[in-house]
Amino acid sequence: MDILENRAEWEATFKENFVAYFDETGETNFKVYNRAKNKTQPLGKAVDLSQSKLLLVTSAGGYLKESQEPFDAPNLLGDYSHRLFPIDTPFEDLAYAHDHYDHQYIDADPQVLVPLKHLADMVDEGYIGELAPTVFSYSGYTPDLARVLDELVPAVIEQAKSQNVQAALLVPS
């Protein structure tokens, strides 16, 4: 099961249109951006969340402001790196590098995108078995889906395996 069906065709079209426009003008044009169009949903087994370990994946661009480099948010072709931070990180230790959403909401209440406290409460209530100790964070302006597949997805899988999780929650921004 492919995450992106017809990858080769998607990549060729992306280069011919979106990348070529950017190379010519230095600007992006989402009128010529080829959105992924899958036809088949992946198969997968259910889990009993109350007996599972859950990994939080956030694309809000969160990073530890005192010890990590911010994401390259102004990059019009995207930043495909990731940061890791502990699930019990205080919100005051986080900053968010992502230029493609309005930060007024996350500044007022980080749980609109990074639900650390809600998830911790759900563990206390027995709804979730446990949380993976490390959050996977990236900055979700990532127009090049081939780079998402080649760089971000393997990194998420590595984290999921190394933390021995049975489930993952993605909260896009």
Partner 1 sequence: MEGIATATASWNGGYVRASLPPRGVIVRTDRGQTLGEPNNPEQQRRILKTTLDLLAQDAPVDIVVLDERD
Question: Which residue ranges make up the site for partner 1 (CB under 8 A)?
Answer: 35-49, 52, 54-55, 100-106, 108-109, 111-113, 115, 118-119, 122, 127-128, 153, 156-157, 160, 165-173
Q: How far is the CB of 144 from partner 1 (least distance, A)?
A: 15
Structure-token pair, residue 6 = 């017809």
**120 exposed, middle or buried (CB, 10 Å; 0-12, 13-18, 19+)?**
middle
Residue type, 169: L
Q: How far is the CB of 45 from partner 1 (least distance, A)?
A: 6
Q: How far is the CB of 105 from partner 1 (least distance, A)?
A: 4
Structure-token pair, residue 171 = 């909260």
* Nearest to partner 1 of 77, 153 (CB atom): 153
* Nearest to partner 1 of 25, 171 (CB atom): 171
Structure-token pair, residue 16 = 């011919």
Instruction: Tally the residues of the chain.
Output: 173
* Nearest to partner 1 of 52, 75 (CB atom): 52
Q: How far is the CB of 140 from partner 1 (least distance, A)?
A: 10
* Nearest to partner 1 of 70, 115 (CB atom): 115
Distance (Å, whole) CA 98 – CA 81: 13
Distance (Å, whole) CA 131 – CA 133: 6
